[in-house]
Amino acid sequence: MSKAMIAMSGGVDSSVAALLTAQGGWDAAGVTMLLTDGAGDSDISDAKSVCDRLGIAHHVLDMREEFDREVMRRFADSYLCGETPNPCIVCNKTVKFGGLLNRVLEMGFDKIATGHYASVKYDAGSGRWLLVKAADRSKDQTYFLYMLSQEQLAHILFPVGGMTKAEVRELAESNGFVTSRKHDSQDICFVPGGDYVRFLEQYRGIQPREGSFLDLNGNVIGRHKGAVRYTIGQRKGLGMGFNKPMYVCRKDMTANTVTLGDNADLFSRKLIAGGVCMTAVSHIDRPLRVTAKVRYSQREEWATLEQTGEDEITLVFDNPQRAVAPGQAAVCYDGDCVICGGRIIRGEN
């Protein structure tokens, strides 16, 4: 019998993933990652409760060192360089389907299962594993998974990918799981309340310094409380009033300046992305019509995709996109399938 390890966060989605995996004929076990100091006790307890109810083993693996090195440290570096990082994407690539998957395979398991809303399919024609959108489009998480390699996709199961969130909760409740009514976390797990500056103060000991607000012509128009406190597209919380709505358009972390402009100044028709991961294809040899998005919460927009370097793609959108932020991901789709994605380097008009 083939063996599958379910990565269990202590939430309802991974609980149902464990149920479906165990019922699907796999020799199943659950595992919960310990990621940060002093966190995760209740989640570990909830995951173990579900495993006990299913009659499968539950393991806890200490991944704190890898999580700190691969996710928290990179997040801090990116933020302090003026980017808008997405640590969940990095965690999926390097920790959950990186270090954890490697350990699971070493333990003799064939697959790792998670509660992500997505699907993996093998395309015999191309010989490639495809990353496909979930049935519940409102919960689809393929944006966060675009960096997964062919080798990683070959060892992954997404049991809840064909279900709606309501169906997942109903199944959890009917099986008596303690996680059935547990709320989904909306925060980055190591940044409670979304307070990035406080995290950076505690993790790196940085103390934001006051600097200048500039207009698009480089003129000083006010003072800010530290460039690290602001994100591209931000309007509220600038700390001072202007005679019209002003938005963060650029940041210069070396000069500690924040450039403000009108909402219209935030739009880019073109973007360049690096760190490219090819999923449905191995390379792109001609311009492709795709849909793409530059942040998770955004709807997909039509664009023309070109591979402009070994590790670079260029997207030209039919309609200019707002607040294209370096550090975020640009993910491209052909219908339900992820074609490729990359880390945004810059947006251009």
| CATH number given to 266-348 | 2.40.30.10
- Res 193: pLDDT: 85
With H, G, I as helix, E, B as strand and everything else as coil, classify residue 170: helix
What is the mean pLDDT, run by run of 10 residues, along the chain of 349 residues?
94 98 97 86 94 98 96 96 95 97 97 98 97 97 98 98 97 97 85 89 93 97 95 91 93 97 97 98 97 95 97 98 97 98 96
Looking at 51, 88, 189, 332, which residue is catalytic?
189
Looking at 51, 81, 88, 91, which residue is catalytic?
91
Q: Does domain 3-174 have CATH number 3.20.20.140?
A: no
Active site residue 340: no
Annotate 190-259 with DSSP letters as a single string: TSGGG-HHHHHHHHH------EEEE-TTS-EEEEES-GGG--TT--TT-SS--SS--EEEEEETTTTEEE
Active site residue 277: no
CA distance 92 to 142: 11
CA-based Rg of the chain, rounded to a whole angstrom?
22
- Res 97: pLDDT: 98
Nearest by Cα to 43 from 11, 71, 66, 84: 11
Identify the H or E element spanning 54: helix 41-54
Give me the torsion for CA of 163, 166, 168, 170, rounded to 10°: -130
Nearest by Cα to 318 from 299, 337, 303: 303
> For the chain, what are the domain ranges?
3-174, 208-261, 266-348
| CATH number given to 208-261 | 2.30.30.280
- Res 241: pLDDT: 84
pTM of this prediction? 0.95
The answer to whether the beta carbons of residues 21 and 47 sit under 8 Å apart is: no
Q: Kindly state the DSSP code that residue 134 receives in the 8-state scheme.
A: -
